[in-house]
Structure 1
C-alpha cells in the first residue's frame, strides 16, 4: 500500500498540476441538471456532486469556480482554474486545444424543442448556445442559426418568437418541456453528437488527468456513477455505464 501511494504521489507531481494547494474546477452554473445555482445561490447539480466525489477519491482539495460558457476554455488555458466540468462534450476539435478525462456521461442525443409540432427544423430559425456542438451542427443543416450566450436564452428565444425551435442536449430540455404545460414539445428525431461528456484539462496536466481518470473509472466499476446519473437524470432509461465493460 505504501509503494502504491508513493507511486501515485510521484505521478501527480510529474504532471505539474499540483504546485497549488487547491485544484480549481470551472463550471458554468447555468445548465441544469448538470450544473446550476440553487435557491441560495450555491452551485449544485450532477457535476458538482460528481466533482466532489472524484476529488475525495483522488485525495484532492477542490473548489468550484463559476465562469461563463463562451470563455470557459480560454480561461482554463490561461490558468484561471485547472479543470472544466461544465457539460462539455468531448470532440476532436476541442481535444486539439485541451485534454480530456474519459467520459463521465455517456454519448447521448441532442434534440429539438418547439412550440409547434409542425416546425420543419431543416428550414426553421433554430436557437443554440454559442460555441457548442449543437450550434456547430445547426450551421451545417441549412437552418438559420441564432446563437445565445446562455442555455436559458435559447429557450426564451422560442417562447418569445425569436426562434422557431431550440436545439440542445436532450436531458437539459426534458424538464423544461415537462414543466411547460404543453407549450413546448420535442420535434423530429434526436441527433447523436459528441463522444460523451468529460472533464477538460490543460494538455500539460497529465498527472491531474490521470488522478481524475482513476476516480471516474472506480466510480463506473462500483456503480457509484450510475447512481448519480439515476439521481440527476431520472426516467425510464437513465444514462448508465456497464461496469463489466469498464
Structure 2
C-alpha cells in the first residue's frame, strides 16, 4: 500500500488497460455479473467494490446500494451515477460505518499489497464494515497455478494461493464458505476469447476451470457473533 501513490496507480491503470481495452473488459464483466456474480449478491442490499479500477464490476452488478473505493481518483469518471465513490486507501474505510454492508468484492487487488501485514489491515477493515453474516468475495491470481505469469507485472508483491488466503481470512476473523482454486483464466488481455457466448459457456462448465483457471475465487463470511 505504501509503495503505491495515486499518481503511479493512475499511470499503471492507463497503460495496462489499454492493452486489454476498457470496452472489452466491461463487456466481459457484464457477462460475469449477470451469469455468475449477481447470484452471490443481496439484490436489495449493498456491496462495496474494493479497488474498483474503472468500475467493470460495480457498474454491472445488480445491487441496490453500490459503493466503490480506489486509490486512483480517475476511477470516479468511469463510474455510473448510482455508485458512491471515495478515493482512499483500502485499509481506511472510515467513511463507511461498521456493520453496514451486505457484500464486499475485490478483483486482482490483494497481490498489489506489499506484505501480509498490510493485507491483514485490509481484511480487518472489510470485516468491520460488513454486517454480521455479510460476505467478502475475493478474486485473484493463484500463485500455485500462475507462478510464471504472476511476475510479469512490476506491481505484484504479495503471493497468495487459495490455501494461504483462506488461512489469512480465518486468522482475521472470517469463516470461509467457498474456495474455488481455479476459476477464471489469468488474464483477458491479448488473444483471449471474450465473446459473451464463450464466457457464459465457460461459466456453465466448472470442469473446464481446472484446465484454464489460474485465479482463485474465495468467499468469506463475517460470523454472526464475533
Q: Return the TM-score normalized by structure 2.
A: 0.33
Q: Tell me which structure has the larger Cα radius of gyration.
A: 1
Q: Return the TM-score normalized by structure 1.
A: 0.31
